[in-house]
Amino acid sequence: MAITTATLSLRVLARLLSYPDAELRAHLPDMRDALHSERALGAARLAELDALMHSLTAQEALEVEAEYVQLFDRGRATSLHLFEHVHGDSRDRGPAMIDLAQTYEQAGLYLAEGELPDYLPVVLEFVSTQPLKEARAFLGEMAHILNAIFSALQQRRSAYASVLGALLEIAGEKAQAVKVAPDAPLDESWEEPAVFGGCSTEGQAKPGQPQPIRIVKNEAQRQNAPLQGV
């Protein structure tokens, strides 16, 4: 069945990728209900997400929080900051951040103090405000990065891989394993168009006109065939 909206699902997925503090864990039942009621995801993917949410409540709070920090804050391969996979620590990261923040502002959205625009939960909050067609296109532009994070999480046998798989499913893309060098600088493997055109303010004359992030693979990455069996 074709989906007609994914707004709630995208917001839930954004929350699932956020730090699993007591407030988030308290809202997990409502988040589960929202995913199942909107039906933007298939039954198999919903079952995976149910398992993730169950694990977040079944384990000790300190253990859940420590695992999250170890997983997402201690290595580049699983970083939820998208530009980490594109620019690394290069000077290009700053201008790209500014362009992306301006994209949000052109749509009438403003970052809270301390939030970085390339943080995936923040990106998803923005995407959730867009019409479904534009939201799927936006996610599709970054599908190769989502697949890289998905693969790194699968290598670590993390249930969080299901969240990246869900994002790819909403985008109409296939979640598949790709070759990832664990914790190696990814900025040497990815490149973006000149002036990071997808995050510029060009074409953003009015709120509600989304400008997709255009993060593309370089030629060497295009020749990397996906691993089989996923």
Give the model confidence (pLDDT) of 210-226 as tens digits.
444 444 444 444 444 44
Record the pTM. 0.76
pLDDT score at 87: 56
Closest CA to 171 of 10, 50, 32: 10
Q: What are phi and psi of 110, to 5 degrees?
A: -130, 140
DSSP state of 81: B
H-helix or E-strand spanning residue 217: strand 216-217
* CA angle in degrees (0–180, nearest 5) for 5-11-12: 105
Give the model confidence (pLDDT) of 125-138 as tens digits.
999 999 999 999 99
Report how far apart, in Å, the C-alpha atoms of 156 and of each of 47, 70, 84, 195 are: 20, 11, 19, 34
Distance between CA atoms of residues 161 and 204, nearest Å: 33
Distance between CA atoms of residues 142 and 83, nearest Å: 11
pLDDT score at 90: 57
